[in-house]
Amino acid sequence: MSKYVNPFTDIGFKIIFGQPASKELLIILLNELLAGEHHIEDLVFLDKEDRADNVHDKGIIYDLYCRTDSGEFIIVEMQNRWHSHFLDRTLYYVCRAVSRQIENPLPKHIPIPENRDENGMLVKEEFVPYGKRYQLSTVYGVFLMNFKEAGLEEKFRTDTVVSDKDSGAVVNPHFRQIYLQFPYFTKELADCNTLYDKLIYALKNMSNWSRMPDALKDQVFEHLAKLAAVANLSEENRIAYDKAVDRYSVSQIVEEDERRAAEERCRIALEEGTRKGIEKGIKEGIKEGRKVGIKEGRKEGRKEEQYNIARQMKNDGVPVNSIIKYTGLAIEEIEQL
């Protein structure tokens, strides 16, 4: 049995990244993902249930919804299984986080934009120039996926921005999405030379480990091991995690049955298609053969008629030039008659 929780289960992800003790680890992961683009010093977790539009949305909106010390919003989600319209849903999440910047106050420790008062509340519109009402902070959607999404390129990381279609120049820097398709991450641990690669490798493989590999002895992985160790879970989290693993196991069985059924349907359809294709090919072949045979027969008949006429003309002493003119035969053909 694995010593560490599966981060792709909902409760496993929250155990590793969604509790106060895991904030430092989450910041390290996000800074590795956003290296050269943004650096996070601190962040606060936002209650996802407070973001729900109605009761049906509560508890299912975001795995993690955070705000950085400099005002950026970050959505982090780990998905173990594909579902329909996945990309549309992630677009909706990020768009909603963008729009709600106009509606919600900022925490006191975050720098206050010009269009908010000392309490972080949006200043009444009559006191704010129209354009400044829409002053936005960047929203990052980070989606860690344990499946391949057909709507994305066949690679591990896909970064999306709002850009000009022709030049690729970024039009608005405040809308960012990062998709990580873990099945495309195929590096072995010996090939992981950066902290970024090592973190991704650990997240992909840790649920199969009985201990942390010797090559992952940095402090960040010691912290990850403590957070993710099944033995360290509270009774409440252990019960919740066991249920999540059971759901995951059942879903895998169901998906495997569905996959095999789909493969069987494809096999039957392929065999049926092949049989029909062969039958059609034979019929088309016979039909085409008849056409070719008739065509060739007519051609040979005309040729034989030309030979008979040329032979008769030759017997009657007609000059060769005249025979060529009236039969269209070559001189070599006439000489052989």
273-303: burial string, b at 16+ Cβ within 10 Å, e else? eeeeeeeeeeeeeeeeeeeeeeeeeeeeeee
Asked if the model's pLDDT at residue 129 lies above 50, the reply is yes
By percentage, how much of the chain surpasses pLDDT 90?
Answer: 26
What tens digit of pLDDT does each residue of 218-265 get? 889 999 988 888 888 888 888 877 887 777 677 667 667 776 787 788
> Quick check: 103 pLDDT over 70?
no
Residue type, 285: G
**Per-residue pLDDT band at 29 (split at 50, 70, 90):** very high
Helix, strand, or coil (residue 80): coil
Per-residue confidence (pLDDT) for residue 272, from 0 to 100: 81
The better pLDDT of the pair 219, 132 is held by 219
pLDDT at 110 over 70: no
**Rg of the chain (C-alpha set):** 36
* pLDDT of residue 139 exceeding 70: yes
Strands 43-45 and 157-163: unpaired
Residue 140 is predicted with a pLDDT of 93
Query: Looking at per-residue confidence, does 290 or 212 come out higher?
Result: 212
**Residue 97 or 280, more confident:** 97
* Inter-residue contact 4 to 241 (CB < 8 Å): no
Cα 330 to the center of its chain, rounded Å: 68
Q: Tokens 């936002």 belong to which residue?
A: 46
Q: Would you say residue 47 has pLDDT above 70?
A: no
Contact 122, 131 (CB under 8 A): no
DSSP 306-331: HHHHHHHHHHTT--HHHHHHHH---H
pTM above 0.75, yes or no: no
Q: Does residue 155 have a pLDDT over 90?
A: yes
CA-nearest of 329, 299, 300 to 314 is: 329
- List b or e across 140-176, with b for residues whose CB sees 16 or more CB atoms inside 10 angstroms: bbbbbbbeebeebeeeeebebeeeeeeeeeeeeebbb
Cα distance between residue 117 and residue 2, in whole Å: 51
Distance, CA of 224 to CA of 216 (rounded, Å): 10
Task: Specify the pLDDT at position 108.
Answer: 45
Angular region, 269: left φ>0, alpha ψ -120 to 50, beta rest: alpha
64 vs 79: CA distance, rounded Å:
12
Average pLDDT over residues 141-164: 94
pLDDT, averaged across the chain: 81
Give the alpha-carbon dihedral of 100, 134, 29, 230, to 10 degrees.
-10
Distance CA 30, CA 35 (A): 8
Q: Which helix (H) or strand (E) holds 217?
A: none
pLDDT: which is higher, 219 or 158: 158
Rounded to an integer, the average pLDDT of 280-309 is: 76
Query: In a 3-state reduction of DSSP, which class is residue 216?
Result: coil
Q: What is the mean pLDDT of residues 15-26?
A: 88
288 vs 181, residue with greater confidence: 181
CA 329 – CA 16 distance, rounded (Å): 91
> In this model, does residue 126 exceed pLDDT 80?
no
pLDDT at 60: 42
Strand partners, 68: 43
What is residue 1's predicted lDDT score, i.e. its pLDDT? 56
Per mean pLDDT, which of 98-102, 116-120, 128-132, 213-217 is the most reliable? Answer: 213-217
49-99 pLDDT, tens per residue?
444 444 344 444 457 888 888 888 898 888 877 888 899 999 998 998 888
Find which of 97-111, 201-215, 321-335 is predicted with most confidence, using mean pLDDT: 201-215
> What is the β-pairing status of strands 170-181 and 157-163?
antiparallel
